[in-house]
A and B are shown apart, each in its own frame.
Chain A
Amino acid sequence: MKKMIKYNWFFEQSPETVWKYLTTSELMAQWLMNNDFELVTGREFMFKSNPQPSMDFDGNVYCKILDIDPLKKLVYSWKIRQGEEKLMLDSTVTWFLIPKKGGTELILEHTGFDDWKNDMIFQAMNKGWDQNVRVKMGNLFNTKPNNETTGN
């Protein structure tokens, strides 16, 4: 069952160079998205990309730097909102840089899809939607009925 998005990517450049492209606003804009990033723990910033109307996505990603380990690791939150209030996605992006012979291994982990609220939905969705899932969902909805926030 898929719990996160993960990529391992090899670059022929040094960790210093890769780190620079991960943490410098103008350089990030060249390959990722326009942003007002600043490499300071706790700093809030935003990415702006093209809106995706079919998903009600205005193209804005709201982030906050959670952890910095220079040349090794960078963590920021990755939130998508609809309007002022409504949170549509509450996830986390983590970058790991590992020095390798002749370059750098970059690992991207996009997580937050595995907390309680996503968990049930993930299971239901990953198996597709058919009669079997409807039956299995009976079990899913029975899991973790307590210790969580109540909605409206």
Chain B
Amino acid sequence: MKQQVIDPFQAVGDPNRRQMLRLLSKESLTINALAENFDMTRPAVSKHVKILYSAGFISIEDIGRERHCMLKQSGFKQLQQWIDYFDQFWAVKLKKLEDLLNEKAKKL
């Protein structure tokens, strides 16, 4: 499967894809089993699966002739990273501003 990076926000922006994630949060499913839950063509289902895969929400494993989809955590982690990163970032920057202002005050 072609590896292309997709924005996780964009990946979960579609109601069908959220429904797919919901189903996969209960159990791993083959693409065919997944497709049975949707009123859309098999290629359309495959396209959504590809997007979820590219965004890191699911992994796909070939077992026999079937492709099995399962939930993966990296798509969620990427978003958590931003919050953790900027939380830390601001704490460091605000301390730096405080030090800078106090330093200037001393010099006056």
B and A form one assembly: yes
**Interface residues, chain A, with chain B CB atoms under 8 Å away:** 2, 5, 7, 9, 11-13, 17-18, 21, 30-32, 52, 55-57, 80, 82, 86-90, 106, 108, 110, 113, 117-118, 120-122, 124-126, 129, 134-135, 137-138, 141-142, 145-146, 148-152
Chain B 68-93 interface mask (CB, 8 Å, partner A; 1/0): 00010100111111110111001101
Is B101 in contact with A17, judged by CB distance below 8 angstroms? yes
Q: Evaluate whether A121 and B47 lie within 8 angstroms (CB atoms) in the complex, with A108-B90, A142-B22, A151-B13 already known.
A: no
Interface residues of B in 34-76 (CB under 8 A from A): 47, 51, 71, 73, 76
Contact partner, A124, options B5, B76, B105, Cβ 8 Å: B76
Contact A151 B80 (CB under 8 A): no
B29 in the interface, Cβ–Cβ < 8 Å?
Answer: no
| Contact (Cβ within 8 A) A141 B81 | no
Closest to B26 in A: A138
Range, interface on chain B: 35 or more
The winner among A31, A108, A145 for most chain B CB atoms within 10 A is A31
Overall SS of chain B's interface: helix
**Residues of B in contact with A (beta carbons under 8 Å apart):** 5, 7-15, 17-19, 21-22, 25-26, 47, 51, 71, 73, 76-83, 85-87, 90-91, 93-94, 96-98, 100-102, 105
Looking at chain A's contact residues, the main secondary structure is mixed
Say yes or no: A89-B82 contact (C-beta < 8 A), given A117-B13, A145-B15.
Answer: yes
